[in-house]
Amino acid sequence: MKFIIKLIIVTILLKIPFFRLIIAQVPSGITTTVPTLFTSTSCTTGGNVTAGIGITAKGAVYAKTSNPTTANSVTNDGTGTGSFTSQLTGLDSGSVYYLQAYATNASGTSWGRQRMFLPTEWPAGIYTIRAKAVLANGDVIVRSIKLIQN
């Protein structure tokens, strides 16, 4: 009899919205857009967040060192899921930068794929790019870049 009464009480409590347990997970499905529209000091990028509850911030982080975080340069491009566009400004022409999209909720921050870029405004034309790079711990480290106008 005690078991039946406890089972009925538990069943009733689970049907009341106040007693439902909601587990918020860190955002997921984050993509980082390839940077475009370069000038010597800025570029456009962005990303997309496809899953997550209560996303309070999303945008891009960037730095001259790999694996940038929100402690580095950061854009805040909205809340919730969906795509966003980020304007990265104050860049040093000719310096290599690393970029990642991010999304944050009460459970933490998740990251998109890291991308590397070099902000340079090139005159119109057809070019051949020769680069010397090494792969270290999954990161491509550019040693030199030579731009040859065809």
pLDDT mean over 110-128: 79
130 band by pLDDT with thresholds 50, 70 and 90: confident
What is the rounded CA–CA span in Å between residue 108 and residue 69?
A: 13
Tell me the per-residue pLDDT of 48-104, one tens digit each, with 9 for 90 and over.
Answer: 999 888 999 999 999 999 999 999 999 999 999 999 999 999 998 878 899 999 999
The tokens for 112 are: 């998109």
Bridging pattern class, strands 127-136 and 139-149: antiparallel
- Whole-angstrom CA distances from 9 to 4, 35, 66 are 9, 56, 54
Identify the residue with better confidence: 118 or 108.
108
CATH number of 28-121: 2.60.40.10
User: Cβ(115)–Cβ(139) under 8 Å?
Assistant: no
Backbone angles phi, psi at 10, to 5 degrees: -60, -45
Sign of CA dihedral 52, 55, 60, 65: negative
pLDDT mean over 14-30: 61
Identify the residue with better confidence: 134 or 37.
37
49: exposed, middle or buried (Cβ count in 10 Å: 0-12, 13-18, 19+): buried
Instruction: Look at residue 106 and tell me whether its pLDDT is greater than 70.
Output: yes
pLDDT mean over 34-40: 85
pLDDT in the model for residue 63: 95
Long-range contacts of 123-130 (CB under 8 A, 24+ apart): 123/149, 125/149, 125/150, 126/150
